[in-house]
Structure 1
Amino acid sequence: MAEMAFLDPEGVDGVRMTWGVWPRTKVEASKCVIPIAATISPIRSHPDIPTLPYVPLRCKTCAGIVNPYCRVDFTAKIWICPFCFQRNHFPPHYSMISETNVPAELYPQYTTVEYAFAGPESNAALLPQPPVFLLVLDTCVIEEELGFAKSALKQAIGLLPENALVGFISFGTQVQVHELGFSDLTKVYVFRGTKEITKDQVLDQLGLSAAVHRPAPGYPKGAQQGLINSALINRFLLPAYECEFSVNTLLDELQTDQWPCQPGNRALRCTGVALNVAAGLLGACLPGTGARIIALVGGPCTEGPGTIVSKDLSEPARSHKDLDKDAAPHFHKAVKFYDNLSKQLVSQGHVLDLFASALDQVGVAEMKVAIERTGGLVVLAESFGHPVFKDSFRRVFEDGEQSLGLCFNGIHEINCSKEIKIQGIIGPCSSLEKKGPSCADTVIGQGNTTAWKMCGLDKRTCLTVFFDISPSDRSNPQGALNPQLYLQFLTNYQNTEGQMRLRVTTITRRWVDSAVNSEELVEGFDQETAAVVMARLTSLKMEMEEEFDATRWLDRSLIRLCSRFGDYRKDDPASFTLNPNFSLFPQFMFNLRRSQFVQVFNNSPDETAYFRMLLNRENILNTVVMIQPSLISYSFNSPPTPALLDVASIAADHILLLDAYFSVVIFHGMTIAQWRNAGYQNLSEHQVFAHVLQAPHDDAEMIIRDRFPVPRLARFLLAKLNPSATYNFANEVAAGSDVIFTDDVSLQVFFEHLQRLAVQS
């Protein structure tokens, strides 16, 4: 059982916290240095979560849902809400409850339950809604690239559920909306790519103006829409089984963009208008229904709204230096365009997924706001023929164990004890501006609300919630007496089968007086979660705050933390020790400072935006690997063992497997490489060598199979290792090890500086 807990630190609830116990006052919380935050995976699958086929009971004051922490008076049939202390009567159908006959939601082990119901709580519960996929394909690419993209789309349509609705838009210099409902004759609606098009203009041109009706009272939005407009919808969106043949035929006939491209110019590509038209089409046909716009883009937008670079090849795409100097002429305009598009998509409940495959930048940095706020997926590859694109794209549509578990139309809400305020969330969601007494004055990420829209979410989606301790806790005697605090996370969403579900997770933690007893605080510290929270907060600050020095801020935070929680004698660095609960944290910060989230040198703005979007949405275990890669060593005389992320781990007779999340590297020591090149693994007397050579490849395959986006098998190793042996200290290198040509300090030197600064009086 202990082993299981080790393997699954998130437990049934999918919640991890920076601090396991909470300080009672705002002042004590600020002394903790690491923010009080929780990460939650709202719809993570777990075998121990029960599904209850009825409507939950809500508190009449705060709308909190009945849970195992409620106080229950079985005689009077009353439950007391732990958040607002309101007394609520059980309804008549709970009349049979007693201490020996308790409903499932009050079982102490069911802190997370899922409600499946067809009733007033649910908007579209009457009819399961089929998923909708609107495919948007860039044709401004070379013949070979278009061929790769077309074969990926054909494979995807074959993998879709039969009832899934499919639509198709292609774009280059102009946008073509393909009418699929009239298979006898190919019918295409063309939009100019040079100017922004309003939603109403899209509807007029497509003949969908009549499709916009007000839902009749009593009908769920999606159901009535389907009754009235199915004929109009079926012109552009058809079930996969009906349109598979016509879409495949259409793809076979589709050619690269025929608009002439002058020498010295980039292709004219109107990505912004294409996504605008796609959003308008879905908004007319299926507002409030789970739908995804899946865009395959092969180059930068050079025309119309969302332009990131001019068509003239002499103008380079914007770099980080250009953004810092405010010398990127198109950037702010494009971001504003995508910000408006994200608001439209969020109001419709639709998702934007981006598959960018190009050697040039395509504008991920500008589109980030629309992808992240709608909970979209993003994949960055060099080509539509690259395994990173092909395997990741297939995973979106696959079913079974490899399925991503894509869900739609989520609304995430948080209830909490009165002494707690919510500052905001970092992650793939958008604030619903639902203000209340639980909203804090300071905002982090998507704030000023207790409810967030999650248009797209999956089994691995993870949100980071930041909390504040209310200064008014002294004036609340009831709260002051209560040794426990309570948090409840509610997620309403449309599952993969199209049914509405409500996941409810209720957790409790203890208040401690950290001024008197800091030992309990130390025991409750989760250094992995703290590292992830600091990484997400740093990347947010780098984007939001001008002149923010990330490295300096991280260093100062780490020094303050070690100064507060380390054991030492004043001004004696040799006496410094850290509790085991903190011992890995300096190492995480050392690697975070060197990571692609903080060091943007050598990365394009698109790559940085891509890395940060994945940093903000993945679960803790995966995110820790992004910050601090894992290294496994394979040799003849021992089983595979974890190795130090250090240049000293390189040995002539060892193979190393580095998992850096975005890439996986297999590195052969010098002797191993010579034997491999000589072909010893193919000789029958060297079967052991063949086995040692194959083992890291098998493990790499397992890593690649389980991950989205699929990581690339890369060749570089040294850039990720701790430079304990550099050209400055080459004389200290062990035999068979390697030297790194860098001026970076090593972890050892970093830790020595940290000790010296932490113990200063």
Structure 2
Amino acid sequence: MADFVALEEQDGLRLSWNIWPNSRIEATKAVIPFASLYTPNKRKADLQVCPYDPVLCKTCGAVLNGYAQVDFNAALWGCPFCHTRNHFPSQYRGISEQQQPAELYQEYNTIEYIQQQAKPVMPPAYVFVVDTSVAEDELRACVASLSQALTTLPEYAQVGLVTFGTHVHVHELGFAECAKSYVFQGSREYTPQQVVEQLGLASKMPARKGGPGQPALPMPSSPGSRFILPISECEFTVNAVLDELQRDVFPTLSEHRPSRCTGTALQVAASLMGAALQPGMCAARLMLFVGGPSTEGAGKVVEKELSEPIRSHEDLAKDRAPHYKKARRFFDGVASQLVQQQHSLDVFACALDQVGLAEMKPVVDMSGGMVVQTDTFLNPVFKESFKRVFVAPGDPGSLNIASNATFEVIPSRGVKIAGLLGPAAAMDKKSSSIADTHVGIGGTNQWRLAGLDASTTLCTFYEITPQSKEAAGQDPHTSQQFYIQFITRYLHADGSHRIRATTFTRRWTDGSNLGELMAGFDQEAAAVVVARLATFKMETEEDFDATRWIDRTLIRLASRFGDYRPNDPASFTLNENMAFYPQFMFNLRRSQFVQVFGNSPDETANCRLSLNKETAQEATVMIQPSLFSYRAAGACAQVLLDVTSIAPDRILLLDSYFYVVVFHGSSIAQWRKDGFHLNPDHAHFKELLEAPKRDASSILQRRFPVPRLVDCDQNGSQARFLLARLNPSSTYQSQQSMSAEVIMTDDVSLSVFTEHLTKLATQS
């Protein structure tokens, strides 16, 4: 897998299969979908950036690349996708075999262009939507984080403020004489036109162009400039409003939940941004800070009476959640509005109760937003994650957030686009390269991404279509290779419009040659593709049994590619390129993506949003956590994700993406309680205690959202965070325990799972 990881580091690209069969039937027999995982905004130090516009094919629109057939004498290049011969533009007149532009070198498979004739750019805009129906200490903590964020933003950045509780308040920051706001009734549902008219934004003024290297600025008399202003003009006003912000004045009965109109607030804020900001002209983010469930107006998830519990997974499965479907339809409308405006929604859900994230999931997903979920605004998970959103591009820890992106896939003959899974929305572009069968967001080869960061990863599915013998015979080069190009057009964090093109080639093979196919199998990428597909099916297909589907897929794969004698499970072996795949599936079917028992719908939605967005390496950690061991006698070493890895004299570090666990064995914990680490004679023990904490800190610093850190001891209450993810090879049902720890579970172990797999796969 090291070679595939190296490819991901180079181009941000992983494929489930790196060698493809040349027929549709053989492709169906491969079981695992043919898909790619691509990170379009991956930052790397050696990225080639060209200060000029790309050369495009006049027929298919592909960008000139290193796989093009070039005739330097005639100044022509042949497109490897549609085989059209194109003329080089006049500025390429002097190129030769000795003097070639960067895009013709195959080592620059990923190259970026800065558009020269780009439209003017407005300053970035942030509209903060703050929940005031929370406890006083929660509100003060949220306000403190907002005030700190304002000090880190550049002076030209635009901000707006909306608060909500029983009603929605849109604060007019351009009115400095006193606090002034427009109030919307929380129980009503408003159309964008009604919001625009009530705020007096019906007429628009053109933007004033900025000076050289500066973003365009809104005209002083622009209607939107009363509500969304540069920080340099409204810093005193917005800080005064935040300092004087009080809890919702409407009283709450003791047996009721607070009145909270989250959906109406989002609808009003989205309409405000649509009227005040021109689509595609700036990076605009709608940031929601919510501390409880929506109980009022559109998007309501539960009634105010505490006697009515908030919906669970069982309620959703048995259609006992009276508000769920209506709320989903409402938020689908908000999602479509934000996508059309090219604005993103970020949700900071800080509450012990559910806030309705399961209903809001399509808004975050389609707009490319971010989610931070924790229990309180005082939690370091919220504070540190929120800080990282505003780290300047290029600084350590920056998310390198880009916006207003479109993502296009151009394949060569024999390959069609089936669809995409990821934080994107389909665009209405048709092409002959679109497959009839759709997977995920299909029916197009171009998608819109309102927001994307350095880890946003898109999963594209392909359909293999047989080539005619005549077409293959015309060009022997295309009969052996196929090509795919990703074109991402986006607004960079520095305000420049850029085009990134990644072009790659893989080769065809006879589908009956299983050895060649297996040589190109990327088991980590395949596991992530199957996990994304399984969660998508769970949410879109009624009565879909994910566990059974995963098991059947694995049995078919093992039966097809395993080496065995029929009806002899002991003879079963798998190629080394597939050896770990059953283990990934074992952990996937036990993970929070598939097993929803014990998790709320909001927690499940948050986990699936992360899986649908993160890179292959990070998603693999979500599916199968990494476990590291620390002992006094040796250095840190990776160990099996098994209960047998627990020992009294060992410290374990578990990285499961969403939380990081530092687990002390019973002897280590006792020595620490006895204060041995405080004795200078036991400096090595002090170093042993600090080593896993340093490694855990490095994980927390590089990941967004910041994971929860759990520091626990063996036999302690929080040890459950570790035990829940370990293979239960030693349970209360075991004949003899091989471990210092026993897991109280009825789940089967990996060895039992593998036994059943080999038995079913080898059946004739």
TM-score grouping bracket, smaller chain normalisation: over 0.9
Q: Could you tell me which of 731, 741, 749 is aligned with 1:738?
A: 741
Superposed structure 1 runs of 4+ greater than 6 Å apart: none
Which residue number in structure 2 is paired with residue 641 of structure 1? 637
Contact 1:225 1:286 in 2 (8 A): no
Which residue number in structure 2 is paired with residue 375 of structure 1? 368
Which residue number in structure 2 is paired with residue 595 of structure 1? 591
Aligned ranges for residues 210-359 of structure 1 at < 5 Å? 210-211=203-204, 231-288=222-279, 289-359=282-352
Contact 2:174 2:226 in 1 (8 A): yes
Which residue number in structure 1 is paired with residue 484 of structure 2? 487
Q: CA deviation at 1:230?
A: 5.6
Q: CA deviation at 1:433?
A: 2.3
Provide closer, same or farther for how the CA distance between residues 403 and 230 of structure 1 changes in structure 2, counting only shifts above 3 A: farther
Where 2:521 maps in the other structure, the secondary structure is coil
Matched, 1:689 2:685: yes
Task: Note the alpha carbon deviations across 1:603-657, whole angstroms, 9 max, x for none.
Answer: 0111101000000100111110000000000001110100110000000100000
Where 1:720 maps in the other structure, the secondary structure is coil
Matched, 1:753 2:737: no
Distance 1:312 1:11 in 2: 52
Matched, 1:513 2:504: no
Which residue number in structure 2 is paired with residue 21 of structure 1? 19
Contact 2:123 2:216 in 1 (8 A): no
Which residue number in structure 1 is paired with residue 656 of structure 2? 660
Distance 1:212 1:306 in 2: 33
Q: CA deviation at 1:261?
A: 1.3
Matched, 1:164 2:157: yes
Which residue number in structure 1 is paired with residue 398 of structure 2? 403
The one-letter amino acid of 1:238's match is: L
Which residue number in structure 2 is paired with residue 458 of structure 1? 453
Which residue number in structure 2 is paired with residue 729 of structure 1? 734
Distance 2:200 2:216 in 1: 16
Matched, 1:525 2:521: yes
Instruction: Tell me how large the CA RMSD over aligned residues is.
Output: 1.9
Where 1:38 maps in the other structure, the secondary structure is strand
Distance 2:468 2:317 in 1: 43
Structure 1 stretches of 5 or more lacking a match?
none
Matched, 1:717 2:715: no
Q: CA deviation at 1:413?
A: 0.6
Distance 1:730 1:642 in 2: 28
Matched, 1:552 2:557: no
Distance 1:733 1:105 in 2: 58
Provide closer, same or farther for how the CA distance between residues 723 and 479 of structure 1 changes in structure 2, counting only shifts above 3 A: farther
Where 2:223 maps in the other structure, the secondary structure is helix
Which residue number in structure 2 is paired with residue 193 of structure 1? 186
Task: Note the alpha carbon deviations across 1:1-46, whole angstroms, 9 max, x for none.
Answer: x98x686440321111000111111111111111000000001011
Which residue number in structure 1 is paired with residue 68 of structure 2? 70
The one-letter amino acid of 2:250's match is: W
Where 1:413 maps in the other structure, the secondary structure is strand
Where 1:209 maps in the other structure, the secondary structure is coil
Where 1:482 maps in the other structure, the secondary structure is helix
Aligned ranges for residues 357-506 of structure 1 at < 5 Å? 357-399=350-392, 400-471=395-466, 473=468, 476-477=471-472, 478=474, 482-506=479-503
Which residue number in structure 1 is paired with residue 665 of structure 2? 669
The one-letter amino acid of 2:69's match is: R
Q: CA deviation at 1:210?
A: 1.0
Distance 2:201 2:69 in 1: 54
Provide closer, same or farther for how the CA distance between residues 444 and 643 of structure 1 changes in structure 2, counting only shifts above 3 A: same
Q: CA deviation at 1:104?
A: 1.2
Task: Note the alpha carbon deviations across 1:380-433, whole angstroms, 9 max, x for none.
Answer: 110011111111111111221111111110010111112111111111100002
Q: CA deviation at 1:595?
A: 0.1
Provide closer, same or farther for how the CA distance between residues 646 and 227 of structure 1 changes in structure 2, counting only shifts above 3 A: closer
Contact 1:43 1:458 in 2 (8 A): yes
Aligned ranges for residues 604-643 of structure 1 at < 5 Å? 604-643=600-639
Higher mean alpha-carbon deviation, 332-341 vs 438-447, is at 438-447
Distance 1:352 1:386 in 2: 21
Provide closer, same or farther for how the CA distance between residues 392 and 730 of structure 1 changes in structure 2, counting only shifts above 3 A: farther
Where 1:672 maps in the other structure, the secondary structure is helix
Which residue number in structure 1 is paired with residue 713 of structure 2? none
Q: Calculate the TM-score normalised by the size of structure 2.
A: 0.95
Higher mean alpha-carbon deviation, 571-580 vs 588-597, is at 571-580
Aligned length: 746
Where 1:727 maps in the other structure, the secondary structure is coil
Q: CA deviation at 1:224?
A: 12
The one-letter amino acid of 1:623's match is: A
Structure 2 stretches of 5 or more lacking a match?
711-717
Which residue number in structure 2 is paired with residue 538 of structure 1? 534
Contact 1:25 1:473 in 2 (8 A): no
Distance 1:224 1:151 in 2: 29
Which residue number in structure 1 is paired with residue 112 of structure 2? 114
Which residue number in structure 1 is paired with residue 714 of structure 2? none
Contact 1:129 1:499 in 2 (8 A): no
Distance 2:307 2:672 in 1: 46
Provide closer, same or farther for how the CA distance between residues 225 and 446 of structure 1 changes in structure 2, counting only shifts above 3 A: farther
Which residue number in structure 1 is paired with residue 560 of structure 2? 564
The one-letter amino acid of 1:468's match is: E
Distance 1:224 1:747 in 2: 57
Provide closer, same or farther for how the CA distance between residues 224 and 15 of structure 1 changes in structure 2, counting only shifts above 3 A: closer
Which residue number in structure 2 is paired with residue 49 of structure 1? 47
Distance 1:224 1:602 in 2: 49
Which residue number in structure 2 is paired with residue 96 of structure 1? 94
Higher mean alpha-carbon deviation, 107-116 vs 624-633, is at 107-116
Contact 2:643 2:726 in 1 (8 A): yes
Q: CA deviation at 1:118?
A: 1.9
Which residue number in structure 2 is paired with residue 85 of structure 1? 83
Where 1:109 maps in the other structure, the secondary structure is coil
Distance 1:679 1:595 in 2: 38
Distance 2:753 2:440 in 1: 31
Distance 1:447 1:332 in 2: 23
Where 1:401 maps in the other structure, the secondary structure is coil
Q: CA deviation at 1:287?
A: 2.5
Q: Calculate the TM-score normalised by the size of structure 1.
A: 0.96
The one-letter amino acid of 1:90's match is: F
Contact 1:490 1:505 in 2 (8 A): yes
Distance 2:140 2:535 in 1: 37
Provide closer, same or farther for how the CA distance between residues 249 and 730 of structure 1 changes in structure 2, counting only shifts above 3 A: farther
Q: CA deviation at 1:728?
A: 0.2
Distance 2:106 2:644 in 1: 50
Distance 2:264 2:737 in 1: 59
Contact 2:19 2:517 in 1 (8 A): yes
Contact 1:730 1:739 in 2 (8 A): no
Q: CA deviation at 1:48?
A: 2.1
Provide closer, same or farther for how the CA distance between residues 7 and 508 of structure 1 changes in structure 2, counting only shifts above 3 A: closer
Distance 1:611 1:620 in 2: 15
The one-letter amino acid of 1:194's match is: S
Which residue number in structure 1 is paired with residue 715 of structure 2? none
Provide closer, same or farther for how the CA distance between residues 453 and 229 of structure 1 changes in structure 2, counting only shifts above 3 A: farther
Distance 1:355 1:501 in 2: 30
